[in-house]
């Protein structure tokens, strides 16, 4: 299961009034989480906005079980474990985490406004902030849609590309579509819950998933907890009131079958999109944001970029390099927010201020 934020990191809901903060970090992958941590150490007010329903970015979404061997001081840890460690590290700073929100717009408010920028999300949130850090990896990860345009009218009602409240499938006939790890995990989780029937729809009997997960799936199919349907959806079937009743499935041997359902939950993987960031007028190099290496500033004052999304001479797409970039960006942002003040370099081993922030100050 993807990691959830611990106490102190709050999954926020929609708000009517704009949220005023010093900085917004776009992206809750490892570099985005560490960016928020470094900003917190500088006592810069910060919120994190993440398009996925959980923190961790590519680590938690694409390879949660695979091991990383190049994180300093940690000989081996999975993508999920690294995410949990970063969340725990960030916890004392109580940084609000807004999950399931994709940035949809950005407006410069000007020097006479309440802040430098107004940033909007597709979930209805608006932030007034003076600094933005784009830590979105290769862009926002959006779910791949079922190649059946007729399904669009039921999205958010009977078709869900993201996790929803479990009450949506109580007593329902649920079809999970896909051959990904995420699809299989979801089907197994639903089979243990209160769904009336769980069917896993995939085009072939072969699954490109972790062997242990495949063993769990085969066991669940053998026990009848999960039904397997092989084929591709080619048509939607509805009742007189327009309710989605079933999918017409084309099988590999050119047969047609009807798959009844109440809820369809496709998990076909994700694809990255730069999205509205590409329309902000920032200098780009092969779809990457050009930055300096002093404060990782983009061509727009007040907007920084760290991690895989940026470009500069000698750039290496490694998590440890992103941590370095986040640290320098935090110092640059703190200096810009407090002009004329000397931003001192302090060490967590000796700084009473930092230890108080982290809740580890000696008695």
Query: Quick check: 4 pLDDT over 60?
Result: no
Q: Is residue 25 packed enough to be buried (19+ CB in 10 Å), middle (13-18) or exposed (0-12)?
A: buried
Amino acid 163: pLDDT: 76
- Predicted pLDDT of residue 58: 78
Q: How confident is the model at residue 7 (pLDDT cuts 50, 70, 90)?
A: very low
Count of C-beta atoms within a 10 Å radius of residue 14? 11
- Indicate whether 333 pLDDT > 90: yes
**CA dihedral sign, ordered 291, 110, 41, 24:** negative
Q: Residue 161's pLDDT is what? A: 86
Residues 6+ apart with CB under 8 A from 301: none
What pairs with residue 119 in β-bridges?
Answer: 106, 127
Percentage of the chain modeled with pLDDT above 70: 92
Cα–Cα distance for residue pair 115/57, rounded to 1 Å: 28
**How far is 348 from 3, CA to CA, in rounded Å?**
27
**Per-domain residue ranges for the chain?**
19-142+271-357, 145-268
The predicted-structure confidence for 190-240, as pLDDT tens digits, reads as follows: 988 777 899 999 998 888 888 889 999 999 999 999 999 999 999 999 998
More confident residue, 246 or 15: 246
> What is the number of residues in the chain?
363
Please report the pLDDT score of residue 41 as a whole number. 98
Q: Which residues pair with 272 in a beta bridge?
A: 141
Phi, psi of 244 (to 5 degrees): -70, 120
Of the CATH numbers 3.40.50.1370, 3.30.200.20, 3.40.50.300, 3.50.50.60, which one belongs to the domain with range 145-268?
3.50.50.60
Residue 171 CA, chain-centre distance (Å), reads 29
What's the CATH number for 19-142+271-357? 3.50.50.60
For residues 124-151, give the mean pLDDT. Answer: 87
**Contacts by 150-153, CB closer than 8 A, 24 or more apart:** 150/235, 150/236, 151/236, 151/244, 151/264, 153/242
- The pLDDT, as a whole number, for residue 141 is 65
pLDDT at site 272 = 66
Identical fold, 19-142+271-357 and 145-268: yes
- Best CA proximity match to 6, nearest among 120, 85, 114: 85
pLDDT of 304 over the 60 cut: yes
- How far is C-alpha 53 from the geometric centre of its chain's CA atoms? 6
């Amino acid at each position: 299961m993807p990691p959830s934020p611990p106490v102190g990191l709050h999954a926020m809901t929609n708000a009517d009034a704009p949220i005023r903060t010093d900085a917004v970090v776009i992206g809750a992958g490892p570099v985005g989480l560490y960016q928020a941590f470094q900003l917190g150490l500088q006592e810069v007010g910060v919120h994190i906005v993440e398009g996925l329903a959980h923190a961790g970015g590519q680590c938690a979404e694409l390879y949660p079980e695979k091991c990383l061997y190049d994180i300093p001081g940690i000989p081996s840890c999975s993508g999920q474990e690294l995410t949990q460690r970063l969340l725990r590290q960030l916890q004392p700073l109580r940084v609000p985490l807004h999950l399931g929100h994709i940035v949809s717009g950005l407006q410069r408010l000007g020097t006479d406004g309440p802040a430098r920028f107004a940033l909007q999300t597709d979930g209805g949130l608006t932030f007034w902030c003076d600094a933005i850090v784009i830590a979105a990896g290769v862009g926002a990860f959006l779910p791949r849609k079922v190649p059946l345009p007729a399904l669009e009218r039921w999205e958010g009602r009977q078709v869900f590309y993201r996790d929803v409240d479990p009450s949506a499938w109580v007593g329902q006939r649920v079809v999970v579509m896909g051959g990904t790890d995420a699809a299989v995990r979801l089907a197994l989780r639903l089979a243990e819950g209160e769904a009336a029937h769980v069917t896993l729809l995939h085009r072939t009997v072969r699954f490109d998933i972790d062997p242990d997960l495949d063993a769990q799936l085969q066991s669940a199919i053998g026990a009848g907890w999960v039904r397997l349907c092989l084929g591709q959806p080619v048509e939607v079937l509805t009742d007189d009131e327009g309710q989605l009743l079933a999918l017409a499935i084309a099988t590999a041997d050119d047969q047609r079958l009807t798959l009844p359902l109440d809820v369809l939950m496709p998990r076909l993987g994700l694809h990255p999109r730069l999205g509205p960031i590409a329309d902000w007028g920032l200098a780009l190099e092969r779809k990457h944001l050009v930055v300096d290496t002093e404060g990782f500033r983009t061509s727009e004052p007040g907007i920084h970029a760290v991690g895989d999304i940026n470009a500069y001479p000698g750039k290496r797409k490694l998590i440890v390099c992103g941590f370095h970039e986040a640290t320098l960006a935090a110092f640059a942002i703190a200096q810009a927010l407090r002009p004329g003040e000397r931003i001192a370099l302090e060490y967590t081993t000796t700084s009473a201020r930092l230890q108080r922030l982290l809740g580890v100050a000696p008695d």
